[in-house]
Amino acid sequence: MDLEAKLGSALADKIGKVKVLILDVDGVLTDGRIVISDDGQETKCFNVRDGHGLKMIRRAGVEVMFLTGRKSRVVEHRARELGVERVYQGALDKLAVLQEILNSTGLSPGHVAYMGDDIVDLPVLRRAGFSVTVSDAHEDVLKAVDLVTKNPGGRGAVREVCEIILKVQGKWEGLMERYRA
């Protein structure tokens, strides 16, 4: 069975329209844990495969943005490493930030994929054209989204979504050429 048949045509249509992938950070790009050292330095663990998935999806023309309620220099470093230029931190009203993004880019909500994991993400998940969450998300989020990943946050869920978008949009095979010898 091909991916589009597995997802269903309505969901595949939503995914086909995605031009920007907006990600929450804690619980999506990470497993949600925050390590704080004695001197107050914050550390987060990111999955290298998720990072590569983000590089691939950017290479295919889908813009990536981070939208998080917390502020962290670690997130700035990770974004710079991945070439993610739009990073919104300290977003207490994520829906207002989404509206700013839509206004500044001229995109419609139907062009947006949003990946969040907790109840603060629900307003954006409901507005985005394609909503997705991680397998270990809050139960209310699991019920509200178009797709739940097989993988938990920080453990390959973002890569999973990147591959789904790339495959549905017909961009996967072209990207894979560079890895075939």
Considering the domain boundaries, does residue 161 fall inside one? yes
Range 65-82 average pLDDT: 95
Considering the domain boundaries, does residue 179 fall inside one? no
CATH of the domain at 14: 3.40.50.1000
* pLDDT of 126: 97
User: pLDDT by residue (tens digit) across 137-163?
Assistant: 999 999 999 999 999 999 999 999 999
* pLDDT of 70: 93
Range 103-132 average pLDDT: 97
Q: Which domain, by its residues, includes 166? A: 3-81+108-170
* pLDDT of 1: 52
Give 88 or 181, the one with higher predicted confidence. 88
Considering the domain boundaries, does residue 181 fall inside one? no
> Which class for 144: exposed (0-12), middle (13-18), buried (19 or more C-beta within 10 A)?
middle
Give 8 or 96, the one with higher predicted confidence. 96
Distance CA 169, CA 165 (A): 6
Considering the domain boundaries, does residue 102 fall inside one? no
* pLDDT of 41: 87
Considering the domain boundaries, does residue 21 fall inside one? yes
Q: To 10 degrees, the CA torsion angle through 11, 13, 19, 24?
A: -10
Considering the domain boundaries, does residue 94 fall inside one? no
Range 21-30 average pLDDT: 97
Q: How many domains does the chain have?
A: 1
Stretch (H or E) spanning 177: none
How does the average pLDDT of the chain come out, rounded? Answer: 95
Range 126-140 average pLDDT: 98
Range 117-133 average pLDDT: 98
Phi-psi region of 66 (alpha: psi -120 to 50; beta: other; left: phi over 0): beta
Give 42 or 77, the one with higher predicted confidence. 77
User: pLDDT by residue (tens digit) across 5-24?
Assistant: 788 889 999 999 999 999 99
* pLDDT of 3: 76
pLDDT at 89 over 60: yes
Considering the domain boundaries, does residue 177 fall inside one? no
Considering the domain boundaries, does residue 96 fall inside one? no
C-alpha closest to that of 128 among 146, 151, 106: 146
